Amino acid sequence: MSSAVPAGTPALDSAALISDLRTLSSPAFAGRDVGSDGNRLAQEYIKRRFAEIDLAPFGASYLTPFAFTRPARNGEAAKTYPSAANLIGHIRGSVNPERYMVVSAHYDHLGVRDGKVYPGADDNASGVAAMLAVAAHFKKHPPHNTIVFAAFDAEEGGSDGASYFINSAPIPIKQVAVNLNFDMVSRNDNNEIFAAGTSYTPALKQVVAMAAATSSVKVRLGHDSKPAGAAPDYDWTTQSDHVKFHERGIPFLYFGVEDHADYHKPGDSFEKINPVFYAEVTRLLISAAEILDRNLGTLE
């Protein structure tokens, strides 16, 4: 694998990063549950940010509406969601425009339950804001390959947005070389984040190592297999949107922190975010995306 990547720590607009996270996790967005008014506010906000960054849509709009029915399970009746939507933009590659990397993060969360708002600041306003920062970086530093930026809906409960994208993508799915997925990237008391996916694609270990060398954050590999004696939820392969790419045989690299005390609780709020850690993680994610872009051909 080549080491020909931009040197130094990537520049980052920390104010924009924090503003995006604060807005998406604010009370007005009411937890961004699929089909809710708060979810639609999130769609409008992400559309505006895509336009400000000057991402190109596929077709006339960034918005890709879809409907789906989630089957009955765990004692809950089947439910139809008629108004879900992904938001998709891209930056065309300057060297290999017909080869693609998909950078993704889900924007939905749990909404309001029993009168309590679940803001979903870490899960996953943090991933969306980091994805926007990566997009802004590549708009200033054009990629070699075409990069698709996907804000997926309906991740909570089944990764339905990612499934819809895979099955009706505006690009040839066979030409997607990798999915880089962000889900919960802003809170960790140990200054560490995990990179999952390398056990399936060992070449990604060097990508992670090269990106980690640019960062003060401790980057650990794991959570993409189930060692003997591990807890049932130790393996994150099926725990976020990257699973839909994995099911199609597409390599994935998933960055996320381990669960904290506020995971899927009303306490997952903006005030609990560690802005220094979050900014450093976002720089790490930009570095990882740069390295992947320069080396996508080695994953094929």
Q: Is residue 9 a part of any domain in this protein?
A: no
- Structural domains of the chain, count: 1
Q: Is residue 1 a part of any domain in this protein?
A: no
What is the pTM (predicted TM-score) of this model? 0.95
Q: Is residue 4 a part of any domain in this protein?
A: no
Give the CATH number for residue 103: 3.40.630.10
Can you list the residues of the chain whose pLDDT is less than 50?
3-6
Mean pLDDT computed over every residue of the chain: 94
The pLDDT of residue 4: 46
How confident is the model over 84-112, as pLDDT tens digits? 999 999 999 999 999 999 999 999 999 99
How confident is the model over 179-233, as pLDDT tens digits? 999 999 999 999 999 999 999 999 999 999 999 999 999 999 999 988 887 887 8
Q: Is residue 8 a part of any domain in this protein?
A: no
How many C-alpha atoms does 130 have within 13 Å on its Cβ side? 34
The pLDDT of residue 5: 47
Structural domain including 200 reads 14-299
